[in-house]
Structure 1
Amino acid sequence: MPNGILVIDKPEGWTSMDVCAKLRGMLHEKRVGHAGTLDPMATGVLPVFVGRATRAVEFASESDKEYIAGLKLGVITNTQDTTGEVLEERPVQVDHHQLWNALAQFQGDILQVPPMYSAIKRNGKKLYELARKGQEVERAPRKVSIRALGVLDEDRPDAPPQPGRADYTLRVRCSKGTYVRTLCHDIGQVLGCGGCMSSLRRTEAAGFTLAEAVTLEAVQAAADRGEAEALLLPVDEYFARCGWPGRAVLRPEAERRLRSGAPVGAPGMEGDFRVYSESGAFLALARCQGGRMQVLKRFFEP
């Protein structure tokens, strides 16, 4: 039975749930979930959790993300990206200094109004369902964090001005819940010419990068050879690299107590730990305090 993490390089035109559905068939496993939705036009890192590893999705979904995004100035659309209906086109007279000054306003903690074309629910209806009917409702601003924001390629704050240039490539590192297309739209508003997102590629999520990502075609080829499980990363590898450095190994009696739900003593141990059996099997995440081990999430089969 497959258990672990597949870091998929999501292709353009697929939803994140499309990818999960495809992998369920390839791996013959119903328990498949992803950490961090990507829009159909976006490509790049989509961590997919399989089998018992799906228990880690709630942790991985909270992580920061990194993107390479195309910013197209002078165009405003109803979806805030180039897949939508063009609402307005404006002339662009922006130089590098003006662009970098605008980007500086979006560094750190900011308030962002979610787009109408999003999966956020209002009274049981997803916003994009209302938007497709021509409806717009008020959305409360949400706090998000932009950890890093800059222009790629040859562009620098001290580069020669190029007034009228409309297309730029941004690097964005941000918190969970950030809409990069809304960021592009808002940058355009600050510059006065409007803007939208023309492309999006996620380069990092849940601590995984494109260097570790595999294509759906590669997974299918491995599945055809009966080798797909070899592509799975162990779920404890995610926790090892993302804030759970402690490692605790239980003796057989303590392991039996943990598996049965009985209290487990942890004298002299304080903090959060990845818990293993003596044979090396990853059992759980636990918090140790006051001489006791409190299990936070189990990763073994009952």
Structure 2
Amino acid sequence: MKAASEYHGVLIVDKPAGFTSHDVVAKLRGMFRTRRIGHGGTLDPMATGVLPVFVGGATKAADFAAAQDKSYLAGFTLGCATDTQDTTGTVTEVSGRSAAAPAVESALRAFEGRQMQLPPMYSAVQVGGQRLYELARKGVEVARPEREIFIQQIQLESFDEGTQKGSFSVTCSKGTYVRTLVHDLGVRLGTLAAMHSLQRTRAGQYPLSEAYTLEAVQRAADEGRLGALLRPTDSLFLEYPAVTLDDYGWKRAQNGAFIGFSHAGGCPQERGALCRVYYDGVFRLLGRVDALEKGGLALFVHKNFF
């Protein structure tokens, strides 16, 4: 088995139901024998699916993963509401009003685009220095600011008019509460709704089809092949163009200085552009094109991974 310090990369985990994201990280710390592990986007205990986990030097990229769009498959039940907006909570209200599939489909489509969303009380959002869920557990509800979210795509996948249960797929921005979408779906339909299941099917670049169960990771650990499960750190940034530094450019990057385009092959020349930066065939940093005080543009270190 490798020494702990030799593991660097991204592990795509298929989180099981009943585990917190922290539980997953804790188990993996034992398998990899290192504390340098973090995840890139919290999943509630009831949720399953893609949880990117960052090991060793790759932990520097975790915040970037958390900020990327996510895709989900959500199961919902119409006719009831709970205090948590999902079926792990206590039922607070029921409704005898039902909905037809075309109405559900139309109501879901209306969510697409940019909008404001009110975070649920059972959430980790802080108001006045306190987590909302801490107040909710005391039976306290407080005013909290709405947050802007973006729904790129949402589609009804199934709906049984008899049981009033269905599912929808959604691709959304960071900070979107899918259970709140379910709650708001009930409101739009003139009834109530609660989420009964949630599976994250994609996190940024990483689809569920490439995720490993904890059992598969444990087998790899037992067989001494954990490293084979890790994806390279730059796999998180494949949407950005690749740039190659020459010796002089790499020296400047190491000193935190800007790099002229003549020393950064393939660099986009557009202000604000991000890029994957390599030297000697190795991913070294995430670069950003920005303006120089004296005028013109150059490549700057946005986040180093060396």
Does TM-score exceed 0.5, indicating one fold?
A: yes
Shift of 1:180: 0.6
The 8 Å contact of residues 75 and 86 in structure 1, kept in 2 or not, is answered as: yes
Take 2:277 and 2:112, find their aligned partners in 1: how far apart are those partners? 38
Take 1:184 and 1:222, find their aligned partners in 2: how far apart are those partners? 38
Q: Are the structure 2 counterparts of residues 177 and 262 from structure 1 closer, same or farther at C-alpha, using a change threshold of 3 Å?
A: closer
Which residue is equivalent to 1:281?
Answer: 282
1:32 matched to 2:33? The reply is: no
Which residue is equivalent to 2:138?
Answer: 133
The 8 Å contact of residues 48 and 200 in structure 2, kept in 1 or not, is answered as: yes
Q: Are the structure 2 counterparts of residues 253 and 39 from structure 1 closer, same or farther at C-alpha, using a change threshold of 3 Å?
A: same
Q: Percent identity?
A: 49
Take 2:111 and 2:259, find their aligned partners in 1: how far apart are those partners? 48
Q: Are the structure 2 counterparts of residues 145 and 292 from structure 1 closer, same or farther at C-alpha, using a change threshold of 3 Å?
A: closer
| CA offset digits 1:132-163 (Å, max 9, x no partner) | 0111101222121111112114x6xxxxxx75
Moved over 4 A (4+): none
Shift of 1:261: 3.5
Which residue is equivalent to 2:210?
Answer: 212
TM-score computed with the length of structure 1 as normaliser: 0.90
Q: 1:71 aligns with which of 70, 76, 81?
A: 76
What runs of 5+ residues in structure 2 fail to find an aligned partner?
A: 1-5, 291-295
Shift of 1:112: 1.2
Which residue is equivalent to 1:187?
Answer: 185
Take 2:170 and 2:192, find their aligned partners in 1: how far apart are those partners? 19
The 8 Å contact of residues 205 and 235 in structure 2, kept in 1 or not, is answered as: no
Q: Are the structure 2 counterparts of residues 57 and 164 from structure 1 closer, same or farther at C-alpha, using a change threshold of 3 Å?
A: same
The 8 Å contact of residues 95 and 165 in structure 1, kept in 2 or not, is answered as: no
Which residue is equivalent to 1:295?
Answer: 301
Which residue is equivalent to 1:158?
Answer: none
Q: Are the structure 2 counterparts of residues 287 and 111 from structure 1 closer, same or farther at C-alpha, using a change threshold of 3 Å?
A: closer
SS at match of 2:67: coil
The 8 Å contact of residues 48 and 199 in structure 2, kept in 1 or not, is answered as: yes
TM-score computed with the length of structure 2 as normaliser: 0.89
Matches for 1:1-302 after TM superposition, within 5 Å: 1-153=6-158, 164-240=162-238, 242=239, 244-245=240-241, 247-267=242-262, 269=267, 270-271=269-270, 272-278=274-280, 280-288=281-289, 290=296, 292-300=298-306
Q: Are the structure 2 counterparts of residues 99 and 292 from structure 1 closer, same or farther at C-alpha, using a change threshold of 3 Å?
A: closer
Which residue is equivalent to 2:293?
Answer: none
Taking only aligned residues, the RMSD between alpha carbons, in angstroms, comes to 1.8
